[in-house]
Amino acid sequence: MKFTIHHQDEVTSARTGEIITDRGTIPTPVFMPIGTRGTVKAVSTEELNSISAKIILGNTYHLYLKPGHDLIGRAGGLHNFMNWNGALLTDSGGFQVFSLAKLNKINDEGVEFQSHIDGSRHLFTPESSMEIQQHLGADIIMAFDQCPPGQADYQTVETAVERTSKWMKRCSVYLTENQGIHDWEQNVFPIVQGNVYEELRQKSAEELIPFATCGMAIGGLAVGEEKSAMFETIEQMDELLPKDQPRYLMGVGRPTDLVRSVKRGVDMFDCVLPTRNARNGQLFTSHGIVNIRNEKHKEDFSTVDEKCGCNLCKNHTRAYLRHLMNVNEILGHRLATMHNLTYYMDLMETMRSEIAAGIFDEWSHNYLKFMLDHKGM
């Protein structure tokens, strides 16, 4: 895998670039739709291609439980299993183990947990996470890390930082000693932890940088901390992480947060927000949030967003979408999901264009100023 920077903003840390994988080229900054169980909910791979999605995210924890990584490996990897020709990133499973499963025991060996599906007992270790991800075959795989709760005390976060470093070493050893089962390159991203504690973030970054060959992730944010503290941490990471490698900010996804983070040198994002909120009737638009289930849209025969080129905005009205959502028609979920993903893809394309044109600072100032009055953006 190779990362090349094409444009660097003169005022901010924003930059454009491209990540070259065996499955294709990914322009950055980039937003990655989440395909938790081998699909972006309600959307086909053909539809993802139609909005120029170049990389999507799969979930190691969920795919391990169902249908199983061995089966996906026999299918030729997750790309083949879901008929996706673009790039894939899989997380390590660590976040879901800590947030979804019934956690029984965590120590330096790994994490013992009960499945949230059937209560069966499992053990995730750095080695098993790497083995599972080798079978899934993503182009970018994540190191196994410990993500402490957002309000965790200093000692808890310090333990997580130390354990994450130990686990990164074990991930590296496993990958060195065990060749993958597929014939394309897989690149592992270390995940910097430390919550909002500056010295712990620095310690984590310094210990993990030696393991980074083409990318690092910023984990443990957007988990309940103050927004100002989150951006202070991102600024710190901009100073500490290698400039010549992509930076991946995990789980941060509000449009204004993406813009603010790009200003601080972040290249990659993922979040369930556009797809989950779409299924709940919340749409992201150039005018701010539209809650389509609201009564005021009952007889609104205008388009959702006249600046959007998605199927919903070209062919249907707010009143029609509200009807579909209120009677729980699958088409409503599909139209809303594609609209939100189109908004996100267009936003990233706009940012890349403004950076390349040398006017990103002015554009981002105007965008953030306009969206300041639009709650939820």
Enzyme catalytic residues: 91, 270
**C-beta atoms surrounding 315 within 10 Å:** 10
Rounded to 5, what percent of the chain is helix, strand, coil? 45, 20, 40
Phi-psi region of 223 (alpha: psi -120 to 50; beta: other; left: phi over 0): alpha
Supply φ then ψ for residue 4, to 5 degrees.
-125, 130
- Return the structure tokens found at 29: 């900054």
**C-beta atoms surrounding 322 within 10 Å:** 23
Q: Residues 66, 117: contact at Cβ < 8 Å? A: yes
- Return the structure tokens found at 84: 């996706």
The one-letter code for the residue type at 349 is: E
Across 128-220, where does the E strand assignment appear? 140-142, 187-189, 191-192, 216-218
Q: Residues 193, 164: contact at Cβ < 8 Å? A: yes
Residue 40: name the closest of 28, 27, 53 by CA. Answer: 53
Cα separation, 187 vs 215, in Å, equals: 8
Q: Residues 377, 288: contact at Cβ < 8 Å? A: yes
- Return the structure tokens found at 61: 């924890």
H or E segment to which residue 284 belongs = strand 282-285
